[in-house]
Structure 1
Amino acid sequence: MKLVQKEVRKQRSEDNLKEFLINDTSISVTDVIGSVLYVNNNISDLIEIPNPRIVHS
């Protein structure tokens, strides 16, 4: 029973983290010279520029 409870708590923590990352976090990824490789929708919405225009092709 304790193992099941531990697994349920772990799943809830992972779900909470995923929700936070999706809804409340701005994420960008750049290469070593600073070219933008990825931005999530939060950054795109914040600076009001569509993702395809931000990410370096």
Structure 2
Amino acid sequence: MSYQEIKHLRRQIERHINRAMHHLRADHSATAYCEFQNAFEILAELIVDLDKENPL
């Protein structure tokens, strides 16, 4: 996986986490949960892809 691909995914994760934190501050916990869930789904996919490229 190239640096550019990882950089793009990192920005998506950061965006979802920032939105989630904003919703938590506004006491919108259900929306925050969805944003955290989106961020962790992207992170999980990234881990799986990297593991396929470099298995232990």
Give the shorter-chain TM-score range: 0.3 to 0.5
TM-score (norm 2): 0.43
Flag the structure with higher strand content.
1
TM-score (norm 1): 0.42
**RCO comparison, higher one (Cα < 8 Å, 6+):** 2
